[in-house]
């Protein structure tokens, strides 16, 4: 049985899982429902994935190579600017009706689904390793 993944490896696995889930959900929605619903899934997934990548970039920039801890106010300001920007893009998509609301919500949950999938897999690995001992 393999070892538990380190932080960076787990993050990369989660990013790949996001991409695969987004592609599979978009294609599946296109074949099962419609192009408009598939656009909703894709837009939701793309927005939340970009927001996640920006958050990752912000945190790496703040904590990597820092001799001292970054200021709390700077972290909060950049965090909330990213969050407000994400809310604004979600508002634009919903206001102009570019996507089906249910499909859009499904796309927005892609990151959460990938976190649960990768976390569940790591939990199963931990249980299997405990059983081997």
Number of domains in the chain: 1
Let me know if residue 24 belongs to a domain.
Answer: yes
Is 131 within the bounds of a domain? Answer: no
Q: What string of DSSP letters covers the chain?
A: -PPPPPHHHHHHHHHHHHHHHHHHHHHHHHHHT-HHHHHHHHHHHHHHHHHHHHHHHHHHHHHTT-SSPPPHHHHHHHHHHHHHHHHHHHHHHHHTT-S-HHHHHHHHTHHHHHHHHHHHHHHHHHHHHHHH-
In a domain? residue 118: yes
- Give the residue-averaged pLDDT of 48-58: 91
Q: Does residue 96 fall inside a structural domain?
A: yes
User: What pTM did the predictor assign?
Assistant: 0.83
- In-domain check, residue 130: no
For 11-35, write each residue's pLDDT tens digit: 899 999 999 999 999 999 999 999 9
> 112 lies in a domain?
yes
Classify residue 70: in a domain, yes or no. yes
| Residue 1 within a domain | no
* Structural domain span for residue 80: 7-125
């Amino acid at each position: 049985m393999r070892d538990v993944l380190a932080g960076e490896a787990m993050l990369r696995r989660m990013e790949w899982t996001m991409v695969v889930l987004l592609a599979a959900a978009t294609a599946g929605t296109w074949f099962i429902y419609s192009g408009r619903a598939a656009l909703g899934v894709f837009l939701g997934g793309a927005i939340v994935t970009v927001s996640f990548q920006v958050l990752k970039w912000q945190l790496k920039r703040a904590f990597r190579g820092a001799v001292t801890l970054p200021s709390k106010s700077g972290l909060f300001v950049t965090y909330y600017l990213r969050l407000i920007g994400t809310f604004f893009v979600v508002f634009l998509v919903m206001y102009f009706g570019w996507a089906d609301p249910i499909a859009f919500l499904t796309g927005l949950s892609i990151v959460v689904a990938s976190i649960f999938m990768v976390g569940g897999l790591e939990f199963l690995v931990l249980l299997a390793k405990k059983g081997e001992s």
